[in-house]
Amino acid sequence: MERYGGLGDIHRPGYSVAENARRLARFAAVERRLLHILAGHLQGVPEYEIKVMLARHLWEDAEHCDSLRKRLPELRGHDRTVEAELEGPLGRFLDEALRAQNTIELLAGIYGVVKPALLAAYHEHQATTNPLADQPTTRLLRFMILEEEEHIAWGRQTLAELVENEEQRAAVASWQAHLSAYLAAAGISGDLPQPTSELPTGRPPFQICRHSMRDDRFTTTVLKDYGRPVQSMTERLHHMMWVRAVELTASESVASLIYEWDDLPWEAYHDLARHCWDEMRHTLMGEASLEAEGIALTDLPQWVGYTEHAMQLPPLERYAHLAVYIEMGAMKYPPGARADYEFARDEAQHALMALYLDYDWADEVIHARLGRRWVVKHSFGGDLQAAIALGEKTAQHRIAFYEQWRREHNLQPAYETGPGIARKQEAP
């Protein structure tokens, strides 16, 4: 029979509680900054499949950080030490990784330098800490190691597909060597000797892209609602699918909030990471349902007007527009998320879309709660009417933005029921 609960090597000394907490705080700091880096770059990455995966990875990194932060008080530590770890060489290393100038550099830095170093530190921690005394930590790390290994494998494979010539390979090697010098000065676990040589000159500060970038497979449009009205049941169903597919803009907008909305408590960034990935999942639901109908996502216009409008607003107004005006508004019945689900289930009798909309509705309930938590309660002290008023203000700003766009591009007023999606449409 198994002894000691199936745990082996229970006599090794391992880390003290204090040393364990110190190292976990640094691990949490890296995961926290990885969330920040991926969120900052998501909107500006043009490659669709990479954009999707960044949203998933930033959410999983947020989950890792949250698990580590919750472990710290159990080790007589405090999660405020996480941010403190970013004030020295570790923060400078991760700040430099943020300054990647294109998709190739982003993948080369994050999946070729940062995450491999973090994974090595996780393995070292697992091999050193006492598996009996510190079993809660080893259990957390086991799951985190699995996900980080998946992240790194994907990143390396994708980078190999993007790098096409010797010039690009040389640029990748140079960027990784540059970041490795900063890593050597910091170390993930913080127990490495400081190098005596000076660090290479750092890159200029990173500037977030303020547009929804798309690769050349897509046609983009700022105006969502133009074309002929939706008439048949099939057109309405396909339009619902398309609307979910262009929730990509909502995912990008939430990612920009993670990067730009300063001075929120950690719990808010954790919630926003979930919201970002949910919106990306909805995008994929729209793509998958269209695909099941024989419609390729690249044959349809990619609406980017949401981001073009949202990025004109400060972060609080940006989230009030999404989580209060749109998400909380979607709780009304009818129309709302429930009505969309019932249409797909009862009228269109489309099993796949009904399933997707069932889960979409469940997610919208979560997002409405997040609006109450971080706009109504956190930003307005519980004043619901003030939060709703701000949401209405952003809606009026959005209408004015689109009207100005129409005037500037000499376009006629449009139907509000959405575009026909039987053909690819040219951007205005």
Q: Where are the domains of the chain?
A: 4-186, 219-408
- pLDDT value at 227 more than 80: no
At residue 103, the 3 state secondary structure works out as helix
Instruction: Tell if the pTM clears 0.75, that is, is over it.
Output: yes
User: Does the pLDDT of residue 414 top 50, yes or no?
Assistant: no
Does the pLDDT value for residue 205 go beyond 60? Answer: yes
Q: Give residue 413's Cα distance to chain centre.
A: 34
Of residues 118 and 417, more confidently modeled? 118
Helices (H), 163-265: 166-186, 233-245, 248-260
The average confidence (pLDDT) of the chain is 92
Indicate the SS3 state at residue 111. helix
* DSSP bridge partners of 301: 219
Question: Do 213 and 43 form a contact (C-beta atoms < 8 A)?
Answer: yes
Q: Which range has the worst mean pLDDT, 8-17, 52-61, 282-291, 362-371?
A: 8-17
Q: Please, is 314 exposed, middle or buried when counting C-beta atoms within 10 Å of its C-beta (0-12, 13-18, 19+)?
A: exposed
Per DSSP, the three-state class of 80 is: helix
The answer to whether the CB of 273 falls within 8 A of the CB of 57 is: no
- Judge if 4-186 and 219-408 fold alike in CATH terms: yes
The pLDDT value recorded for residue 203 is 93
How far, in Å, CA of 205 to CA of 259, rounded?
14
Whole-number pLDDT of residue 129: 97
Lowest mean per-residue pLDDT among 78-82, 120-124, 128-132, 241-245: 78-82
Q: How far apart are CA 283 and CA 250, in angstroms?
A: 9
Q: Decide if pLDDT at 326 tops 80.
A: yes
Instruction: Tell me yes or no: is domain 219-408 CATH 3.20.20.150.
Output: no
Q: How do residues 86-119 score in pLDDT, each as one tens digit?
A: 999 999 999 999 999 999 999 999 999 999 999 9
The CATH code of the domain at 4-186 is: 1.20.1260.10
Take residue 366 and report the two structure tokens written for it: 């979560």
Neighbours of 229 (CB within 10 A): 12
Q: Identify the pLDDT of residue 428.
A: 31
pLDDT of residue 425: 31
Considering only residues 167 and 415, tell me which one the structure prediction assigns the higher pLDDT. 167
End-to-end CA distance of the chain: 72
Strand segments, DSSP code E, in 250-384 are 301-303
The Cβ of residue 16 has, within 10 Å, a number of other Cβ atoms equal to: 13
The pLDDT, as a whole number, for residue 225 is 60
Look up residue 18 and give its two tokens: 């204090």
